[in-house]
Amino acid sequence: MEPAVDVGKLRKEYTLSGLFRKDLSPDPFEQFKLWFKESVRTAGPREPNAMTLATASREGAPSVRVVLLKSFDEQGVTFFTNYESRKAQQLAENPQAALNFHWPWLERQIQIEGVVEKVGREKSKAYFDQRPIGSRLGAIVSKQSSVIESRSVLEQRLSALQAEYPNVDPPLPEFWGGYLLIPERFEFWQGRENRLHDRFLYTRCANAGWKIDRLSP
């Protein structure tokens, strides 16, 4: 038997760079774009648009998973999923959510918190229609988060759907679409030596501007 990993001794020093107030954009959306562009440029085979999405039920019971960012602009962050999934059920009960981007190759994280709402049907269809055909069929056959007897159930559903749409684009299902997270809070985190990380918090103000504070690590 292999010896157990001593988790307490797993450690990495962060030495790449620092983050200073003078270098920040006054607009967190612009700051996000700058960091995201850098993450894409340096990601290699990794997925820079992978983000952790945290949701909670009406009673406050949390759940978390990784989803993919599919668009970002001054309105907010957009991702797509099954509207009958666990995350969707929780968002229907409690439309508050949080996102975290972790780019270890840059020793950076971004946290975004805000209110989530469904995007319009046209936007969902526009994205759905540009997905690879396998991804579209997979979205239709999967009753996301529901219990299934075996993987063969999925494979049988997929085969039947492929036969139904051999040369025709499948329609956007009613139970699938996008969400927009409208940010109220951004935090930009840059790893530093001795765990004295740089953290800057953007908080939306009543006058539609943003307050910027440095946080203790």
CB < 8 Å & 24+ apart, contacts of 91-98: 91/55, 91/116, 91/179, 93/57, 93/58, 94/55, 94/56, 94/57, 94/58, 94/60, 96/56, 97/53, 97/54, 97/55, 97/181, 98/53, 98/54
Catalytic residue among 21, 46, 195, 214: 195
Catalytic residue check, 121: no
Number of H helices, E strands in the chain: 5, 9
CA angle 154, 156, 158 (to 5 degrees): 70
Backbone dihedral angles phi then psi of residue 134, each to the nearest 5 degrees: -65, -40
Residue in the structure block whose two tokens are 């209110």: 115
Distance CA 40, CA 48 (A): 6
Q: Is 184 left (phi over 0), alpha (psi -120 to 50) or beta?
A: alpha
**DSSP character at residue 106:** T
Rounded Cα gap, residues 14 and 2, in angstroms: 29
Task: Show which residues are catalytic.
Answer: 195
